[in-house]
Amino acid sequence: MTLLLLPQAFSVCKVNSVSSVDFTREFVFFARTDDELSLVCETAYAPQDCIAREPGWRAFKIEGVLDFSMVGVLANISGLLAKAGISLFAVSTYNTDYIFVKENSLDKAVEALRGSDFVFR
């Protein structure tokens, strides 16, 4: 399976509203639940008025379209990263999954995944 390492730095944010979110950017992941509004976006474009903000994340994109019948893709990645002592933040879209790791764990994460069946582009 091929992973694309995205060059951008990302932030995970908790926001009051979406009024200052730039949805025209290439990577904006947004979720609304009954008790929060969460946003993952490029750090350079993170809103200034966040309730909470955790910068310093990097992302891998699983290349290609993942069929909904595929089983264990995230479990495999999270297991390999857990074995290496690396926490992750995952976001799934209709087509694929994005795995976020802290910048200071990036090299170790690449090494852990490269040692399995993953190829980086």
What CATH number does the domain located at 2-120 have?
A: 3.30.2130.10
> How far is residue 22's CA from residue 30's CA, in Å, rounded to a whole number?
11
> Tell me: the pLDDT tens digits for 34-64?
999 999 999 999 999 899 999 999 999 999 8
Which pLDDT does position 65 carry in this prediction? Answer: 84
**100, 81, 104, 9: CA torsion to nearest 10:** -10
Burial of 75 by CB count in 10 Å (0-12 exposed, 13-18 middle, 19+ buried)?
exposed
**What SS3 class is residue 102?**
strand
